[in-house]
Amino acid sequence: MKYRDLVQRLHAAGFVRTRQGKGDHEVWTAPCLDRPVIITRTREVSPAVTRNALKAIERITKG
């Protein structure tokens, strides 16, 4: 998935970029989740990182 598409989905779900991580990593949090989502700032985000972010978005939208 492209970085900009993933960021749009995170914003739509209520996530906020809280800080820059090491290197090209970013830390995104949502008020109702206890763990942050870490994504890489690359043109194409890897499938594993995309899957983790989409699972976090799903947890927010379900409850």
- For the cut 90, the answer to whether the pLDDT of residue 63 exceeds it is no
Task: Return the axis-axis angle of helices 47-62 and 3-13, rounded to nearest 10°.
Answer: 20
Are 6 and 25 in contact, with CB atoms under 8 Å apart? Answer: no
In CATH, what class is 3-62? alpha beta
26-44 pLDDT, tens per residue?
Answer: 999 999 999 999 999 999 9
The answer for residues whose C-beta is within 8 angstroms of residue 51's C-beta and 6 or more apart is none
Its pTM stands at 0.89
